[in-house]
């Protein structure tokens, strides 16, 4: 479970950074990745990454500003040419489906795989055997959403030596014990999963926010998160500018992470006025004064999401 940033600039691309896009790579968990926002040229960024469009499973759009979705039509069209034949589902605010379908119809693009667009206004989005995803409305100039991805707890390790002593070999019995079921031993006695299964491993929580002013919904979505991705468009000396344009400062992002009890904060969505690395590091230093576990999101770097507990 890893994060991979393909765009960290706000508004327009620059020579140093692309506009917003972020992948949640779930290679070990389900051999896929999920995409959060898809700014212009995201598919070009993917070509320079270890990701494969054929492995893309879900796309989550935070809001309908161009720097967060102008890359969608091209990426959707190209996916089939890169081996993508499995279903693809998009989640986003009302209006997303019209944008996608209009672009595809006018360009006469043909999609050879199943494409579903799910428009939402926040709340529970979906749940499967591994993950639960929910969303909430933030505070931006247009409707902008944050997403909370909760991994379900994982079963502990089986005591292989004890199972061997009972004559149980790898196979279906292992699966039953992993699921918490009891099994019958060769001598007719009952073996409970609790006798051979270690403590469960807690699932991880990842919160990825769209553009927003500081708001309570951001803190709630990030509650006890292992990782929070929060926009930090400006230094705090421009807090009034940030408020006017419905954005946050690096310090405000750090305050949200601290209030939420998050373990790690990644700063992203940087104003183009911060062109060079030393200017960006001012944002990082500002955030670390409030929340020491703050880091700049750097493009084309794979960030592992560690399991705690």
Is the Cα torsion angle 231, 30, 305, 200 positive or negative in sign? positive
Share above pLDDT 70 across residues of the chain, in percent, rounded to a whole number: 99
pLDDT at 305: 95
Q: Is the pLDDT of residue 127 over 80?
A: yes
pLDDT at 192: 77
- Structure tokens given for 87: 């279903």
197-238 pLDDT, tens per residue? 777 788 999 999 999 999 999 999 999 999 999 999 999 999
If asked whether residues 244 and 185 sit together in one domain, one would say no
Q: How far apart are CA 48 and CA 61, in angstroms?
A: 22
43-65 pLDDT, tens per residue? 999 999 999 999 999 999 999 99
Known binding-site residue numbers: 63, 65, 67-68, 140, 211, 269
If asked whether residues 184 and 36 sit together in one domain, one would say no
Q: Is the pLDDT of residue 166 over 80?
A: no
Q: Residue 106, class by beta-carbon neighbours within 10 Å (0-12 exposed, 13-18 middle, 19+ buried)?
A: exposed
SS3 144: coil
Rounded to the nearest integer, the mean pLDDT of the chain is 93
Q: Is residue 96, in this structure, part of any structural domain at all?
A: yes
Give the residue-averaged pLDDT of 287-291: 98
Q: Is residue 79, in this structure, part of any structural domain at all?
A: yes
pLDDT at 5: 98
SS3 148: strand
Helices (H) and strands (E) in the chain, counts: 12, 16
Q: Is residue 309, in this structure, part of any structural domain at all?
A: no
If asked whether residues 179 and 236 sit together in one domain, one would say no
Catalytic machinery residues: 67
Number of domains in the chain: 2
If asked whether residues 180 and 141 sit together in one domain, one would say no
252-287 pLDDT, tens per residue? 999 999 999 999 999 999 999 998 788 999 999 999
Strand 21-26 relative to strand 302-304, pairing = unpaired
Known binding-site residue numbers for Zn(2+): 63, 65, 67-68, 140, 211, 269
pLDDT at 118: 98
Report pTM: 0.89
Range of the domain at 125: 2-154+201-304
pLDDT at 84: 87
């Amino acid at each position: 479970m890893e994060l991979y940033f393909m765009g960290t600039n706000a508004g327009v691309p620059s020579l140093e950074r692309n506009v917003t896009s972020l992948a949640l790579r779930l290679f070990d968990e389900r051999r896929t990745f999920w995409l959060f926002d898809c700014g212009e040229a995201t598919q070009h960024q993917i070509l320079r990454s270890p990701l494969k469009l054929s492995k893309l499973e879900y796309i989550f759009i935070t809001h309908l500003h161009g720097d967060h979705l102008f890359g969608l039509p091209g990426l959707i069209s190209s996916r089939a040419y890169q081996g993508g034949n499995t279903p693809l589902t998009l989640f986003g605010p009302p209006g997303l489906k019209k944008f996608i379908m209009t672009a595809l119809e006018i360009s006469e693009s043909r999609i050879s795989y199943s494409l579903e667009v799910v428009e939402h206004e926040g709340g529970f989005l979906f749940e499967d055997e591994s993950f639960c995803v929910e969303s909430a409305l933030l505070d931006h100039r247009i409707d902008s959403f944050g997403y909370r991805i909760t991994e379900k707890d994982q079963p502990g390790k089986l005591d292989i030596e004890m199972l061997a002593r009972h004559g149980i070999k790898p196979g279906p019995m292992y699966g039953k014990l992993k699921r918490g079921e009891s099994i019958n031993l060769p001598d007719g006695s009952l073996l409970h999963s609790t006798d051979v299964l270690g403590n469960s491993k807690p699932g991880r929580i990842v919160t990825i926010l769209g553009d927003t002013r500081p708001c309570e919904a951001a803190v709630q979505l990030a509650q006890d998160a292992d990782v929070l991705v929060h926009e930090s468009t400006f230094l705090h000396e421009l807090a009034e500018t940030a408020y006017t344009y419905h954005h946050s400062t690096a310090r405000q992002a750090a305050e949200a992470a601290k209030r939420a009890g998050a373990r790690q904060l990644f700063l992203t969505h940087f104003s183009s006025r911060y062109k060079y690395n030393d200017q960006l590091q001012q944002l990082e230093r500002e955030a670390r004064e409030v929340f020491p576990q703050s880091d700049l999101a750097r493009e084309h770097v794979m960030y592992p999401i560690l399991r705690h507990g």
